[in-house]
Homo-oligomer: A and B are copies of this chain.
Amino acid sequence: MRNWKLTVAYDGTDFSGWQIQPGQATIQGELQAALGRVTGERPLPQGSGRTDAGVHALGQVASFVLEAAIPAESLRRALNRTLPAAIRVLSAKEAAEGFHARHSAVAKTYEYRVFLEKTTGGETLCPPFLARYVYAYPWPLDVERLNAAAQHFVGTHDFLSFAASDPDAAAREDARPDGEAEGRATAIRTVFASAWEERGIEEGALAVYRVRGNGFLHHMVRNLVGTMLDVGRGYSEAGEIPGMLAARSRAAAGPTAPARGLFLHSVEYSS
């Protein structure tokens, strides 16, 4: 019995999210099937959190237990030979007993990428090769205004206004603070860092948001981004955000940004 830790990147566009579902292509399902082909065992890999349909990962972490002893490099190579090109195992390592990709996580970082349009004609000129990986936002954005909004999220807050409005939104959080009981329905999370930067690329420029925290509610990053984009285009003001947090109501905050711009960047563990 060995405990394993995989770091995985994926293009989520053509998958129905992380979580395994019958008859659907999912990241968890593809990994389980690949483990079955390579090892003959079919453990269900546990992710650091679920990602929704269309959400990508640069460094998702998954854990599982295998009976067989396999050299780590051999496992990674064999998995990459059999997985679809849209999923890559970046590293495979044996983990300490008791390591669990979700329960052991102490911080996660998400990235959201917005293509800064050069056109104002209601069209998007976003290059087709980027379209799956960015939000081609159809209005001009002021990155200073985005950052004025972003700073309001730093610290420990009740993020209920930014959680998906489904009844078990808090229970469906992506990662829970260390030591918190499973399924405890609180929307209080700590955001350690929250900032935008403009990133020049060959085809123009992106506005890239990075947020690092001890846990995120379902849809939380997309709701933070949708709200900040309203500020960035001048439709609302950064100063309204403390009131949105205080309202503890989804209706108080802005829209949900599309999945395609969102990347699970990395997951941190204490050891």
Contacts and interface: CB of A to CB of B under 8 A. Distances in A.
Contact of A76 (B10, B11, B123): B123
A87 B127 CA distance: 8
B88 A121 contact: no
B122 A9 contact: no
A181 interface: no
A131 to B, nearest CB: 4
Contacts of A114: none
B10 A85 contact: no
B131 A11 contact: yes
B77 A119 contact: yes
A85 B131 contact: yes
Interface in A161-198: none
How extensive is the interface on chain A, given as a class? 20 to 34
A37 interface: no
A16 interface: no
A39 B125 CA distance: 20
A108 interface: no
Copies in the complex: 2
A88 B130 CA distance: 11
Interface in A90-145: 90, 119, 121-129, 131-133, 136
A56 interface: yes
A88 B126 contact: yes
Interface string A231-242: 000000000000
A10 B127 CA distance: 8
Contact of A128 (B11, B121, B126, B131): B11
A11 B9 CA distance: 21
A2 interface: no
Nearest to A124: B80
A87 B128 contact: yes
B80 A125 contact: yes
Contacts of A126: 85, 88
Contacts of A86: 128, 131
A26 to B, nearest CB: 15
Nearest to A11: B128
Top 8 A-B residue pairs of the complex, sorted by shortest distance between their CB atoms: A80-B123, A85-B131, A77-B121, A11-B128, A77-B123, A86-B128, A81-B123, A10-B128
A11 B129 contact: yes
Contact of A127 (B76, B88, B121, B128): B88
